[in-house]
Structure 1
Amino acid sequence: MNLRATHTDDASEHVSTAVLDAAIRPRYFLTFLRDILIIIVIALLVSWFVKTYVVRSFFIPSGSMQNTLQVHDRILVNEIAINRSTLNRGDIVVFQDPGGWLDGAPGTEPTLIEQALEVAGLTASDSGNHLIKRIIGLPGDHVVCCNDLGQIAVNGTPLDEPYIREPDRPSSSQPFDVEVPEDSLWVMGDNRNSSSDSRANVSSPGKGFVPIQDVVGKAFLVVWPIAHIRLIG
């Protein structure tokens, strides 16, 4: 009799354990699902913060910055503390269209990589509304083109520009003599014979100047393709 009672007790214990496991399992699943959702939310918030305040990815669609940047290069842009005191002559900057610079420019469908970067928060659907050029004139500068050697002079001093794509001298077939407003920049592409930059937009509303408030950040790294990976500047 005792032996039978023991078997009965063991069976009851197994049944109770199975019932308990069945009751606990959904709770573990819900806890796991909650933790996954929390991780996703935190990741999205971090990505948004990084894209908005730290670094952002951009795609080079044209040859206006050759040979410094090649067509289809993917670059990273430092967005931290962009203001007059942090910008220097020679910096390569990404900026929003000041108005009229990109009229009629053909749009392109984002690639799978670009879509993934957008989801991650490292790029955005409005990237096609931005341009990338090199700072030539800072606020208050007097910029003149060109001397007999094809050099641009800033405040009376000719610039040494080893980054210009050769044979692109003289730097411009269109002479200019401008005073850069206190809140703006004068920018040009390194591929001077194939760059729609400040020179080509003097008839736009901003007269070819780029407001500093439109600058997104400074390019600092080529990240794609692999063969082109390097620091910029």
Structure 2
Amino acid sequence: MVVAAVCVVVLLLAAVAVRQFVVQPFRVPSASMEPVLQAGDVILADRADRGTARRGDLVVFDGSGYFAPSGSGSGRYWVKRVVAVGGDRVTCCTDDGAITIDGQVLEEPYLAPGTEPSSIEFDLRVPEGRMFVLGDNRDDSTDSRSMLGAPGGGMVPVDRVVGTVDRIVWPLTRAGAVR
């Protein structure tokens, strides 16, 4: 009996350690990241990458006070694509409708065909330690563009990153690595 109780405690501690230091599951609540992620997908965030962001990463971050007012009842965790990081100048849009980073057109192969990169114009420099994030489904995403007038100017501190999204684990028909 004591051995079984010890085994249960060890397994629980191992599960907590994995969640804290290795991967953490999240459910995608909306269509804002389609077509790559769909509402209802369960994803794993790689905790080894917490507090970091690179252009192109899909990240889960704590949006409290930046994307959702504290205590608003809105989701605390958000999943978006990092488009620009500290020091980058991000601008929308060129005459062809593209977003640029430091004057170079941002290639966005993850957008659904025919998707306009942004219906909101912007031209800003991302402060050090912050990131500018967008949903892949630009017509149905609350992201840095829609928060430009909010605290932080729509740019989230990189230290709010919980982890990078590396795989879908549910539903099984969509399970696998995120490209």
User: TM-score category by the smaller chain?
Assistant: over 0.9
Tell me the secondary structure at the aligned position of residue 206 of structure 1. Answer: helix
Unaligned runs of 5+ residues in structure 2 are none
Cα distance in structure 2, aligned partners of 1:56 and 1:214 = 15
> Could you tell me which residue of structure 2 aligns to residue 14 of structure 1?
none
Q: Name which one, 1 or 2, has greater alpha-carbon Rg.
A: 1
- Cα RMSD (Å): 1.6
Of 155, 158, 174 in structure 2, the residue corresponding to residue 228 of structure 1 is 174
Shift of 1:139: 1.2
Give the stretch that moved more between structures: 94-103 or 186-195.
94-103
Q: CA deviation at 1:202?
A: 1.2
Aligned counterpart for 1:193 among listed residues 134, 139, 147: 139
Q: C-alpha displacement at 1:83, in angstroms?
A: 3.9
Higher relative contact order (CA 8 A, sep 6+): 2
Deviations 1:173-219 (A, max 9, x none): 11001111111100000001111000011122111011011100000
Local SS of the residue matching 1:137? strand
The structure whose residues are more often helix, as a share, is 1
Match of 2:7 in 1: 39
CA distance in 2 between counterparts of 1:220 and 1:38 reads 33
Give the TM-score normalised by structure 2: 0.93
Mapping of residues 29-68 of structure 1, within 5 Å? 33-68=1-36
Q: Letter of the aligned partner of 1:149 in structure 2? A: D
Alignment of 1:11-160 (within 5 A): 33-84=1-52, 87-103=53-69, 128-160=75-107
**Aligned-partner residue type, residue 127 of structure 2:** P
1:101 Cα shift?
1.7
TM-score, length-scaled by structure 1: 0.72
| Aligned counterparts of 1:99 and 1:203: Cα–Cα separation in 2 | 13
Q: What amino acid is aligned across from residue 103 of structure 2 in structure 1?
A: G
The answer on whether the counterparts of 1:188 and 1:199 sit within 8 Å (CA) in structure 2 is yes
Indicate the percent of aligned positions where both proteins have the same amino acid: 38
- Show structure 1 runs of 4+ deviating over 3 A: 103-107
